[in-house]
Structure 1
Amino acid sequence: MDKNLKAYIESGKAVLGIEFGSTRIKAVLIGPDNEPIASGSHTWENQLVDHIWTYSLDSIWSGLQDCYSNMLEDVKNKYNCDIKSLGAIGFSAMMHGYMAFDENDTLLVPFRTWRNTITEQASEELTELFNYHIPQRWSIAHLYQAMLNREEHVEKVKTLMTLAGYINWQMTGKKVIGVGEASGMFPIDINTHDYNEKMISQFEKKAKETGYDISLRKMLPNVAVAGEIAGKLTDEGAKRLDVTGNLQPGIPIAPAEGDAGTGMVATNSVRPRTGNVSAGTSVFGMVVLEKELSKVYDEIDLVTTPSGDLVAMAHCNNCTSDLNAWINIFKEFTELFDVDITIDDLYSKLYKNAMKGDADCGNLVAYNYFSGEHITGFEEGRPVFVRTPESKFNLANFMRTNLYASLSVLKTGLDILLKKEGVKLDKIYGHGGLFKTKGVGQNILAAALDTPVSVMETAGEGGAWGMALLASYMINKKDNQSLADYLQDEVYKSETGYEVSPEKNDVDGFNIYIERYTKGLEIERAAVETLV
């Protein structure tokens, strides 16, 4: 047991970050050097209810409490102490989505997550109205689509939130979110680091034409940049977080951020000319821009860093879900024969074996679409694996195909930035479950983008650690110290990660695969239309 860390925790100086991911809620406690010293997690899954992907309020709160409780247990096991106070807390969650509340703060309809692709008309009309791409998953697209659908609840909406903003609100009593999270609700003016006032006026005028007299500014939460305090933990918030009742109120809370922002922080990619790819249930690639893009692209979203710098994002709804499903089939196979192989060993061996496959996957192709994909034009998805009688169908090619499939939509989007816009990248970092097995996901991403890719040892801590770092920055930054400088000077220092460069054979193989993939999208279209 580390007595120094025990004393540090008991003094109430440790900092906590909690992130609501798509399949796991994770808590990371960090110490004086910003290193993770304890963690906890809770596994959960979204539900498809009335054709809407959602999580219930009960599952949100029970999941948060279980995650925090597991973190406390880890602290008890490692340091034989309890937590009564903390230096700071930060909450993060999957970006975007729609949580609408009435004047009594009652949720009007079930939380509509980022995964839903039900706002196409709203997305198209708002993009045209603003001359600014509005993705389907953004909060404003969900609100406007509900208006277009004449949904009964719209007239009662007084507060509009994302999941991260909702948690922050319930913990502090303040309706405040970070600028990066806010940029997934409504377009941000990068000069003011606040909502774009011209677009707010345009929306309110459009809403009135649709029959709704609303004040969007009053609906939306206030915006804060990294380093500002978004409120303090209330007595009620402390009791909802810690069911033991030990946690004391008054702890400063960092502005709630989305998983995009925490991913940037967790990979030290908040400066211009840096980028990162987060690959888990969904996958998105982000590049911090030096200047605005030359035109509006439906495939590219514009968000911001937690400090408010402009970021181009290619967001894909599907990444590892289909891969995980296949791994589970192999797990069932081992259990059928009473072979004791852990799930981690299965991932490792099958992923590594994939690298023995043909660079072009032996004329196989897969579509991992559990849900729709905006970039390739699908509102719904059907997982599909396709081969011809002449394809080289073996285990290595099978796994390599599924790994390629997990990054194919991302490649389609990022090629716009790298090839059409000529965006320059000094570094791109990979993080998330796809990169856990060394020499696999990282190498395939390098081949897909034809760009060197780095993975840090700390990247596996993910967004919860990134959120903890934002909370640490809030209370520990020096005067006028930027977030980028704080991360470089206080967190990463000399750590640059393990970098791999793309191999020409792999790059050529992925390009051949993506041609086959693009031609075969009609197969996916047929599956969506016929398999209901």
Structure 2
Amino acid sequence: MKVDPVRDIQLGQAVLGIELGSTRIKSVLIGRDHVVIASGSYDWKSSYTNKIWTYRIDDIWLGLQESYKKMALDVEQKYGITLKKIGAIGVSAMMHGYMVFDENDELLVPFRTWQNNITAEAAGKLTQLFNYNIPQRWSIAHLYQCILNEEEHVKNIRYMTTLAGYIHWKLTGRKVIGIGDASGMFPVDLETKDFNQGLMERFNDLIRVNNFPWKLEEILPNVMIAGEEAGVLTEEGARLLDVSGNLISGIPMCPPEGDAGTGMVATNSVSKRTGNVSAGTSIFAMIVLEKELSKVYTEIDLVTTPAGELVAMAHSNNCTSDLNGWVSLFEEFSKLMGLTTNRSTVFEVLLNHSLEADPDGGGLLTYGYLSGEHMTHFKEGRPLFVRSSNSNFNLANFMRVHLLAAFSAMKIGTDILLKEERVKLDKILGHGGLFKTKGVGQAILAAALNTPVTVMETAGEGGAWGIALLASFMMNKEDNETLENYLKRAVFDSFEGTTLQPNPRDVEGFEKFIERYKRGLPIEKAAVDHFE
């Protein structure tokens, strides 16, 4: 479908997607053909304050407003139009974490993000109570840990939500959440498409002795499914988003979703026997299951697609942060040498050079644990590089080993699904910044999973585009049309991708490296124990 972006903007038919990621807040405006016609972004990062990974509320709104402002400026510069009316809006953000509010809608404690590995006791007890894996990142694990810690604020809680749910609430006045994001707060029932009532009753029984003035169902948001309308942008919400005052109120909004769900949408991997890997600050593989797993695995989260289909999630807290740190170091060296370059060029040169390395990284070893890593049971992390006297230490191997390590914690989880549970996959799609350098991250992922990997030409757009597609689905779907059908019919029939088969030599090299990675975990533990 060929469309005129100017006409879409003028008629208010363009759709806005906003995602608050770990390192960037991005706003994208798409036309009726689902192609991005304008975008804006704002770089930010979490802070480690009082041993808690957090983002300040003021920084959340500053970043959101700057991202929107740059997108609106992009519209004005490209098309000569002041953006006032939008067809639909969607908000996505990092999943999980802990945001709780009192009766006056005031945040009770600083936002605790998914990066925190401080809920091991609570997660373990809840997993046993529910017979359902409750990872440390999940909102319910944070809540119960606060109860176990006897934190004073718990009695004052009147609402608990995620970052996406919080933004949506402030923009619309509606305390709702998309089912994909909801499934990372508390287990959902696949039949009712709502929080699991039986498990909520177990939790309420567990904490009855505490005599809190609330029950769990009273403080959770209402769960919604992709395609439903989740309220409209209020006048107050419009002013929060667009400080210029140009944006009008009354714009319909789709249910807020988590970055895992929008990643599935952005890669057209919401169907059974499909999966995707999102690689950025964290990395996670999402595989849509045909049936439930045979048993509970603490390494595997069970969540859902935005339409409520069961998904196995192998999540690692750490992916590109340490790699980015090394690239910055080489960029600094390049400038000292008098070379005119930029981060993107340095990144591309170094990653392409890794293709000349030994398949296993030449005996080198690294852990990019900037934060704790639940997959390998670390509450805290220490980025670490190790080599022996007989390692093949050169630049190509140095870069390759950091790429191998970026995928390794996730691989431990996906090996459970593919090797132990015999989960069947027809395709895996990669998206996120690590796949921007053509063929490099894609080849490493294909080796990690021993599965063909497809990267779409839209791979770099990520979750902001994914939530824009969900908003478009809400606005433009046909009667009773499923999300799966809409994506195939209206979106991905016009987008191309490249598929890379796993190289047997690379697969063998990765298997060799992962064994070294597992054997070396005591080294990482020693670093955590003895180095501040």
State the TM bucket, normalised to the shorter chain: over 0.9
Structure 1 residue runs of 4 or more that deviate by more than 4 Å after TM superposition: none
Amino acid at match of 2:162: T
**CA-to-aligned-CA distance 1:365-417 (integer Å, 9 cap, x gap):** 10000111111111110000000011100000000000001000011010000
Q: How does 1:156-235 map to 2 (within 5 A)?
A: 156-212=156-212, 214-235=214-235
Q: Distance in 2 between matches of 1:321 and 1:495?
A: 30
Q: How does 1:300-379 map to 2 (within 5 A)?
A: 300-379=300-379
Q: Distance in 2 between matches of 1:165 and 1:17?
A: 14
Deviation at 1:32, TM superposition (A): 1.3
Q: Distance in 2 between matches of 1:252 and 1:494?
A: 26
Q: Distance in 1 between matches of 2:157 and 2:3?
A: 51
Aligned to 2:101: 101
Q: Indicate the SS of the match to 1:493.
A: helix
Q: Is the 8 A contact 1:204 1:213 kept in 2?
A: no
Amino acid at match of 1:203: F
Q: Distance in 2 between matches of 1:173 and 1:336?
A: 52
Q: How does 1:131-530 map to 2 (within 5 A)?
A: 131-212=131-212, 214-493=214-493, 495=495, 497-530=497-530
Q: Is the 8 A contact 1:65 1:242 kept in 2?
A: yes
Q: Distance in 1 between matches of 2:174 and 2:495?
A: 37
The alignment yields a C-alpha RMSD, in angstroms, of: 1.0
Q: Indicate the SS of the match to 2:39.
A: strand
Q: Distance in 2 between matches of 1:424 and 1:337?
A: 50
Q: Is the 8 A contact 1:75 1:82 kept in 2?
A: yes
Q: Distance in 2 between matches of 1:78 and 1:45?
A: 29
Q: Is the 8 A contact 2:3 2:32 kept in 1?
A: no
How many residues are paired up?
531
Give the TM-score, by structure 2 length.
Answer: 0.99
Deviation at 1:211, TM superposition (A): 4.9
Question: Matched residues, percent identical?
Answer: 60
Deviation at 1:481, TM superposition (A): 0.6
Q: Is the 8 A contact 2:436 2:459 kept in 1?
A: no
Deviation at 1:459, TM superposition (A): 1.6
Deviation at 1:494, TM superposition (A): 5.3
Amino acid at match of 1:128: Q
Q: Is the 8 A contact 1:148 1:210 kept in 2?
A: no
Q: Distance in 2 between matches of 1:438 and 1:529?
A: 39
Between 1:337-346 and 1:517-526, the stretch displaced more is 337-346
Q: Is the 8 A contact 1:207 1:214 kept in 2?
A: no
Amino acid at match of 1:12: G
Q: Distance in 2 between matches of 1:116 and 1:414?
A: 22
**CA-to-aligned-CA distance 1:114-161 (integer Å, 9 cap, x gap):** 000000000000000100000101001000000000001000000001
Aligned to 2:17: 17
Q: Give the unaligned 5+ runs of structure 1.
A: none
Does 1:69 pair with 2:86?
no
Q: Is the 8 A contact 2:3 2:31 kept in 1?
A: no
Amino acid at match of 2:335: E
Q: Distance in 1 between matches of 2:145 and 2:64?
A: 30
Identify if the C-alpha distance between structure 1 residues 494 and 18 changes in structure 2 by more than 3 Å, giving closer, same or farther.
closer
Aligned to 1:60: 60
Q: Distance in 1 between matches of 2:505 and 2:8?
A: 51
Deviation at 1:25, TM superposition (A): 0.1
Q: Distance in 1 between matches of 2:37 and 2:333?
A: 37
Amino acid at match of 1:483: L
Deviation at 1:215, TM superposition (A): 1.1
Q: Is the 8 A contact 1:158 1:219 kept in 2?
A: yes
Q: Indicate the SS of the match to 2:5.
A: helix
Does 1:35 pair with 2:42?
no
Deviation at 1:213, TM superposition (A): 5.0
